[in-house]
Amino acid sequence: MKQEIRHFHLFCGLGGGAHGFNAGHARVGAMEAEFRCIGGVDSDPAAIADFGRAAGVPGTVLDMFSREQYQTFHGREPGADWREATAVDVQRGAGGERPHIVFLSAPCKGFSGLLSQARSTTPKYQALNGLALRGVWLMLEAWRDDPPELIIFENVPRIASRGRALLDQIVALLEAYGYAVAETTHDCGELGGMAQSRKRFLMVARHQEKVPAFLYEPQKRPLAAVGDILGRMPLPGDEAAGPMHRVPRLQWKTWVRLAFVEAGSDWRSLNRLVVEDGNLRDYLIVPDMHAGTYGVRDWAGATGTITGNARPVTGSFSVADPRFTASTQWRDGQAYGVRRWNSPTGTVTGQQAAGQGAFSVADPRHHGAPKHNNCFRVVRWGGESRAITGAHGSGQCVADPRGGHFDAECGVVEWRAHTGAVAGKSSPSNGRFSVADPRPSMQRTKGDHYVTGGHYGVVPWTASTGAVSASACHDNGHWSVADPRGFAGGAPGNCLPAATDRLVAMIQALDGTWHRPFTTLELAALQGLMDPEEQLELDGLSDGAWRERIGNAVPPPAAKAIADMMGETLLLAWAGETFVLSATPVWVRPVAAALSLPGGAA
């Protein structure tokens, strides 16, 4: 026997909660629950467009501010077409139907720890916080003659402290309308078996006349690993995955910070770095080093020969030691957090950047280490050469300062000096039989191969090169260009980006993993809004707007787990049962009291 359970959503966002409730399932005896969403309201038109796709029913754009709240929050009067929402507007948002369950997820910015205490107390954010109380009141007035059986109000955990006075008013309001109320917390990741830990505040209210049954706690499941989700997705930047899977363009200084964050840790890793006069004391970041200078060896690999002059600046004499001690102060959601591939991530929030939370991962799927084979390497006269191998031309050259002071092969004498005796075996390679002629192009005529051959020719950036032949090389034609793009930040010779330059970089950490921020699509998958093999379509084209709506969403797997237990509670009530044994504990003692005892008495 099918029993329909209708659910309605205030401050519905993109519809994550509605999507999860639609998938809910419950059975008591011969009765089986069928969940159906009857609507949702939100002030964001883009979120409402997303809601229609997620919930399978159109949503309603509705601003629930009072006029005074609107003026305080926006700092101006509303437009001529704006009017205060009423209980009738809420009824219309539900298609004129009455819900059995109402799910509220009011704006949480004013309660979040991401906002400073000082800013949270400003009139602007107090007006935003007041939406929670006004939304509850409008909902209660909409169905005061036939109240919903269950009401679920969820928010960030800090609302229990920052919003204590507001919660007390909401509890008093619910009790005045005949509800018993209890407060608790839950972890969305554990309820939904997700790859993130997401702690949330939960207020549960049941109408005392309609619901006498217990509410049991949903079964907790172990957290999944980040790699379990991301490993099933294409590599970031794959065009086939769509624009939501592009790697974010971060500031160069953010990429550098990510490079120094240890996998499984967060920004506290940066505290281990020694900074003197604003610069790193123990590290030097340079565009490229081909001579092994500052070389860092793999922990499992072998180092080069240790010489008497061995220092970090003279060769590959450093090692990437994996035995770091993880920070004992680490907490979820910290800036520059880099997650291990096989661990869950922290809460996915509406924040957008790698520097605003644990939104990066140590991805082992990079394309391999770069190769530096010392080609054309020239050793300083006072330095030492690398090991002599059978591979000629791999860095076995020296900058010899003794020019003109020894009778060596390939000698070049000055124009006014005399050459050595010219022997029968004379050639540039066996004596000083060449001369530095200061008369370039003298006695050269048009068509002379020396003039037109372009040996070692460097073409200006604004000029055109000649025809490129199959044998083109740097020493047989004009095949080189004077590229002015070798520096950034305004200082010629500096080949590194400026600190605030935005770019996409691949940072390969010392442990061989790729430290990078999550893509927008990956955040949606971690939030449970889609399967990793699927694509997601959200309204608009802004990564920032997408990320905010994704972070504000209720994870569908967690919502489904709550819906399952809510559905069972309603079926028990409709069957006349007030108690049933369950393999799971009663969902927090205060909630058990609220859902079973008259008046919410403990």
Query: What range defines the domain where residue 136 resides?
Result: 2-230+528-600
| Amino acid, res. 553 | A
**181 in a structural domain:** yes
For residue 40, being part of any structural domain is answered with: yes
Does residue 536 lie within any of the structural domains?
yes
Is residue 435 in some structural domain?
no
**Domain contains 549:** yes
Low-confidence ranges of the chain (pLDDT < 70): 213-216, 286-295, 311-313, 323-335, 351-352, 366-379, 382-397, 399-417, 419-456, 473-475, 483-495, 510, 578-602
Contacts of 64 by beta carbon, 8 Å cutoff, 6+ apart: 10, 11, 41, 43, 85, 131, 134, 135, 138
User: What is the distance between the alpha carbons of residues 40 and 17, in angstroms, rounded to a whole number?
Assistant: 10
Residue 442's contacts (CB-CB under 8 Å, 6 or more residues apart) are none
CA distance readout (Å), 221 to 21, 151, 218, 264, 569: 18, 24, 9, 21, 21
CA distance 244 to 547: 10
- Quote the CA–CA distance of 18 and 13 in Å, as a whole number: 10
Which residue type, as a one-letter code, is found at position 583?
A: A
Query: Which domain CATH number covers 569?
Result: 3.40.50.150
Residue 116 tokens read as 């400073």
Residue 132 within any structural domain of the chain: yes
Report d(CA 15, CA 528) in Å as an integer: 12
Within a domain: 154: yes
Q: How many domains does the chain have?
A: 1
Domain-embedded: residue 548? yes
Q: How far is residue 433 from each of residues 160, 213, 407, measured CA to CA in Å?
A: 91, 107, 11
CA angle, corner 206, sides to 208 and 216, nearest 5?
Answer: 115
Alpha carbon of residue 61 to chain centroid: 29
User: Which DSSP letter does residue 339 get?
Assistant: E
